[in-house]
Structure 1
Amino acid sequence: MSSTVPTSSALRALALEYKSLQEEPVEGFRVKLLGEDNLFEWEVAIFGPPDTLYQGGYFRAHMKFPPDYPYSPPTIRFLTKNGDLCISILHPPVDDPQSGELPCERWNPTQSVRTVLLSVISLLNEPNTFSPANVDASVMYRRWRESKGRDKEYENIIRKQAQAARIEAEKEGIVVPLTLEDYCIKTQVKATMHDAQLDMTDFYDDDYDLDSDSEDEMEAAEGDGDDSGNGES
């Protein structure tokens, strides 16, 4: 049964993933919470990879997580005219032969925000033209690729968008990396997450009406520890 009440496992998973991405960011990305007390809506900022048509670009997207994350995938929408993102990893793990996707290509609970962000970067480097969210863009991309760059329509549009995005980023005081060296530098952020004013304990209180089943299970597991030869030290 689906529920709009966040599960305790979802809160724990998102708190840990957010902390991990602050301490060890994915190259070319930065993430922050849309609201300091809501782990289920993030703003994702993406820098265009150097040596691609997106070089110099700065693109923002909203990522929204379901209450039963990580058992269901998040959704991502870019803050642009056509912000739809179509990648297999964000599709629910259902059997859909007509999609042409294998079940193993779809979302599963072992995936994470980190793997999603890496998939987005991969898509920028090599768009999937077999199942495009924007058919017109897919046609232009194929013409550009098959002409080995002689057909400039796609290239001109992307470079213009990247340049416009860079100008907007600079107005906000954001430095966009233009070289591979700058792009690959990972800035270590203190685990306190002071910028987001995020207290990890805030996400385990009664405001979320969390089930107590997980606590009961943990107490039971501790009680059974003497019966097993694999107890933790």
Structure 2
Amino acid sequence: MAGTLFLIPVPLGPTAPQESLPANVLAAVRPLTYFVVEQAKTARAFLKAAGTDLPLQELQLQELNEHTKANQLDRLLEPLRAGHDVGLLSEAGCPAVADPGANLVALAQQENIRVVPLIGPSSLLLALMASGLNGQRFAFQGYLPAKDADRTKMLRDLESESKKRQQTQLFIETPYRNRAMFDAILQACQPSTRLTVATDLTLPGESVLTRSIAGWKKQTPPEIERRPTVFLLLA
């Protein structure tokens, strides 16, 4: 009988796992020996803080990240096929959401391996909850194009789609380009469109602010450079 693939959430920043993860999630982590992780170094730091039944050096960690090739995924299922439970970790937040772990989950589903998602912080849902925008219809767009012209076109397309469907659009950016994204949104979108900027969610510096584009232009820009941020807009 195959093992179970546990999808283990990770805190969104440098906080103790006990502060943002339920006790049953930590209890599920402790007995595991096998893990698939985005980066081994940071995963070990999380596992040390969360607590494991085995010493860290006895845990089996395999990496799955943007450098993993499609033909390398199959071997990551071998412990599961052998009957061992495996924990899948992202760098932060929930695995398989805006995360390469989704590819492993897809393979597990194809082989009828049991997949168990565990409760933990999701920056996307937390941002949506606090935004005041439409929580009935929403879409996550991931990263937008980096080139100015392509990004502007995408923002206008998303704004048009949002207006047509009354759908909240969520997207993210590499933290060091957050300010460039913010400025691009103000230039591309209509004055009445509402924009939420959600930064450092669950962390001491957390900030979630919703303003119209016209309102944002009248105030000091938010301090978001190099800080994890989710952008949401509703036309």
Q: Which has the higher contact order (CA 8 A, sep 6+)?
A: 1
- What is the TM-score with the length of structure 2 in the denominator? 0.24
- What is the TM-score with the length of structure 1 in the denominator? 0.24
Answer with 1 or 2: which has the greater Rg: 1
Higher strand share: 2
